[in-house]
Amino acid sequence: MEQHLTVGRAAELAGVSVRTLHHYDRIGLVRPSARTAVGYRAYSAADVERLREVLGYRRLGFGLREIADLVDDPATDAVAHLRRLRGLMLEQRDRADALAAAIDRELKARAMGITSTPEEQLKVFGAQLYDTIGSAYPATRRTDPRIAARIRDALGDARTVLNVGAGTGSYEPPDREVTAVEPSAVMRALRPAGAAPCVAASAGSLPFADRSFDAAMAVSTVHHWPDPAAGLRELRRVARRVVVLTYDAGTPGWLDRFWLSRDYLPEFAELLVDWPSLADLAQAVGGRAEPVLVPWDCADGFFEAYWRRPEAYLDEAVRRAVSVWTRVGPEAEQRAVSLLHEDLDSGRWAERNRDLLALDAAELGLRLIVA
């Protein structure tokens, strides 16, 4: 019985009750594969591994039925479970940090005799997506100089520029007077020292008078707004010129443009089900849309950035800095990554995408709307 743990010892080590382990056994979630000489349940190394996965998912708040589906999935091995658990734990920690920071702010406000509105009190729990994933953003998201040049040209001679959904400040032109707008506290906190002043607000309701700025820009953010057209009309209201970097999901066959969504992550399409057409977006600001090609060595690690460097998508840090991966959920993510891994190893990816290797830039649906 040397390699086995008795039920009592397993419960003690894991910090759960023996009753819990008996329950897991009864429902078939973790069945100890042996018995001691006197008939106690005994857990082998493989049983313990499964128990650890179950307890990890339990700690994250998954229900027992959901956990059974997860741990029984033959496509997910022990390492994949550990990676997923790690990502989810870090996400939960970031969310708890954001919540604790919001509570601190409220305590401070109360100490000064300020009571928050009912809306403010509830908003604390509906954390912004970027309050959850924002801390992973700076690892790979930065200004790509070629895309920055297109934005700068489009801004023309604008002296005052509003950057909406500004994040950490990529693409803010250093030679203009920039005001940033960013609703996520985590993203605001990640702005580098010396970055433009940043106002906590959302695109749908900009706290500025009509025509306050020469230009307003919005880069890789419109798809996060609850009402993109209304947000764009706000940009139009507060600025004389509008420059928006966004995505065209309306052209037929758009999903097939990029091998990652075509062959590995079809769930990407579901994220854009209610997405307005490019024509509607351009119309909201009264502008025209121009294609923006993605350079093969794009410095900004957005979803499409690594189209000619597929191995990059195997890197957890690359994926965590792109909201698509969090929004499709851990199962789709893990499946896509495992499949890509296999195809890279077997040479199938290279066979299918041979033509891409000759390109220096690709048309993957990025559009610059200029008005």
Ligand X SMILES: C[S@@+](CC[C@H](N)C(=O)[O-])C[C@H]1O[C@@H](n2cnc3c(N)ncnc32)[C@H](O)[C@@H]1O
Q: With contacts defined by CB under 6 A, how many residues of the chain interact with ligand X?
A: 21
Q: Which of residues 157-176 bind ligand X (CB under 6 A)?
A: 164-167, 170-171
**Residue 161 and residue 124: Cα distance in Å, rounded?**
30
Query: Does position 141 bind ligand X by CB under 6 A?
Result: yes
Query: Does position 287 bind ligand X by CB under 6 A?
Result: no
- Of 221 and 261, which CB lies nearer to ligand X in the complex structure? 221
- Of 42 and 249, which CB lies nearer to ligand X in the complex structure? 249
Q: 76, 135, 221, 261: which one contacts ligand X (CB under 6 A)?
A: 221
Nearest to 162 by CA among 96, 115, 106, 215: 215
CB of 105 to ligand X, least distance (A): 18
- Of 28 and 194, which CB lies nearer to ligand X in the complex structure? 194
Query: Does position 130 bind ligand X by CB under 6 A?
Result: yes
CB of 225 to ligand X, least distance (A): 4
- Of 48 and 218, which CB lies nearer to ligand X in the complex structure? 218
- Of 54 and 164, which CB lies nearer to ligand X in the complex structure? 164
- Of 6 and 170, which CB lies nearer to ligand X in the complex structure? 170
Q: 127, 158, 203, 239: which one contacts ligand X (CB under 6 A)?
A: 203
**Residue 213 and residue 235: Cα distance in Å, rounded?**
10
Query: Does position 191 bind ligand X by CB under 6 A?
Result: no
CB of 218 to ligand X, least distance (A): 7
- Of 10 and 158, which CB lies nearer to ligand X in the complex structure? 158
Query: Which pairs with CB-CB distance under 8 Å and at least 24 residues apart come from 224-232?
Result: 224/129, 224/130, 224/165, 224/323, 225/165, 228/275, 228/276, 228/281, 228/284, 229/276, 229/280, 229/281, 229/284, 230/204, 230/284, 231/164, 231/202, 231/203, 231/204, 232/203, 232/281, 232/284, 232/285
Q: 5, 187, 364, 370: which one contacts ligand X (CB under 6 A)?
A: 187
The 10 Å CB-count burial string (b at 16+, else e) for 202-212 is bbeebebeeeb
CB of 179 to ligand X, least distance (A): 13
Residues 6+ apart with CB under 8 A from 90: none
In degrees and rounded to multiples of 5, residue 6 shows phi and psi of: -70, 165
**Residue 192 and residue 172: Cα distance in Å, rounded?**
12
Question: For the chain, how are helix, strand and coil distributed in percent, rounded to 5?
Answer: 50, 15, 35
- Of 41 and 224, which CB lies nearer to ligand X in the complex structure? 224
Q: Pattern 262-281, binding to ligand X, x per CB under 6 A?
A: --------------------
Query: Does position 184 bind ligand X by CB under 6 A?
Result: yes
HSE of 34 in the Cβ direction (CA atoms, 13 Å)?
Answer: 15
Query: Does position 179 bind ligand X by CB under 6 A?
Result: no
**Which one of the spans 19-27, 180-188, 263-271, 354-362 is the region binding ligand X (CB under 6 A)?**
180-188
**Residue 314 and residue 31: Cα distance in Å, rounded?**
33
Q: 224, 319, 320, 367: which one contacts ligand X (CB under 6 A)?
A: 224
**Which one of the spans 43-51, 196-204, 265-273, 338-346 is the region binding ligand X (CB under 6 A)?**
196-204
Q: Which residue has the tokens 């079809």?
A: 266
- Of 66 and 227, which CB lies nearer to ligand X in the complex structure? 227
**Residue 99 and residue 95: Cα distance in Å, rounded?**
6
Q: 219, 260, 292, 336: which one contacts ligand X (CB under 6 A)?
A: 219
Cα 87-337-184 angle, rounded to 5 deg: 40
Quickly count: other Cβ atoms within 10 Å of residue 12's Cβ.
Answer: 13
**Which residues, listed in sequence order, are joined to residue 370 by a DSSP beta bridge?**
243, 288
Which residues are at the interface with ligand X (CB under 6 A)? 128, 130, 141, 164-167, 170-171, 182-184, 187, 202-204, 219-221, 224-225
